[in-house]
A and B are shown apart, each in its own frame.
Chain A
Amino acid sequence: QKEVEQNSGPLSVPEGAIASLNCTYSDRGSQSFFWYRQYSGKSPELIMFIYSNGDKEDGRFTAQLNKASQYVSLLIRDSQPSDSATYLCAVTPGRSMRFGAGTRLTVKP
């Protein structure tokens, strides 16, 4: 079992729709959870992090964490073509960060 699993996609949504990205992790000791966005050929860029159960909102982005289910998700509201990228889920079971393989999102105008 991989430490962090994501649906590789591609996920395609129309402009203005809600994009839902999901991630599961295996280490119950994981304490912090991150979503990074990575454009093709670029390095990961932090979108947001969450460490408490529940929802955390930042602009058009909402992260959701359920530690009992070992599940974390990212919702992108009012999706824009500029949101088209690969979204990486990352968890910290210790100090080092473990990444999923990423979900490729395409937002079609």
Chain B
Amino acid sequence: DTGVSQNPRHKITKRGQNVTFRCDPISEHNRLYWYRQTLGQGPEFLTYFQNEAQLEKSRLLSDRFSAERPKGSFSTLEIQRTEQGDSAMYLCASSPTGVVDIQYFGAGTRLSVL
């Protein structure tokens, strides 16, 4: 069990560029979540997968954001036409099947849009 892995750890991009982040959950965790966190705020829910199915997506998520989990293992989060307001820490979490949904977080990808 190596924990939730996220890559890259840091990403600097210019406004208007597309970026993609990867998350590898803890093995055998069938649930995967993406969050965004800005300074001084708690993580904000973006989207949730159970296996390969995207079951919930935040209403706050614009059409520029898309996430996939094609084989029910790793997931990618893509942001198209990045804006300065997208600068944040993007966190991935995974959880096993269970009555209580205990989520374990990766180290995050810090995005800076110039």
Tell me whether A and B are bound partners.
yes
B32 to chain A, nearest CB (A): 11
- B45 with A98: CB separation less than 8 A: yes
- A97 with B106: CB separation less than 8 A: no
CA distance A36 to B43 in the complex (A): 11
Q: Is A28 an interface residue (CB 8 A)?
A: no
> How many chain B residues touch the partner (CB < 8 A)?
25
* A-B pairs with beta carbons under 8 A, tally: 56
Q: What are 12 pairs between A and B in contact, CB < 8 Å?
A: A34-B102, A43-B107, A43-B108, A44-B91, A45-B105, A51-B100, A95-B56, A95-B101, A99-B42, A100-B42, A101-B40, A101-B41
- A32 with B40: CB separation less than 8 A: no
- B48 with A101: CB separation less than 8 A: no
Q: Most chain-A CB neighbours within 10 Å: which of B42, B100, B108? A: B42
Chain B residues within 8 Å of A49, by CB: 100, 102
Give which listed residue, A8, A42, A97, A100, contacts B103 with CB less than 8 A.
Answer: A97
Residue interface mask B72-114, A partner, CB < 8 A = 1: 0000000000000000000101000000111111111000000
B50 to chain A, nearest CB (A): 8
Residue interface mask A14-30, B partner, CB < 8 A = 1: 00000000000000000
Given contacts A36-B105, A97-B101, A99-B44, 10 further A-B contacts (CB under 8 A): A34-B103, A43-B91, A46-B103, A88-B43, A92-B101, A96-B33, A96-B56, A97-B33, A97-B43, A101-B41
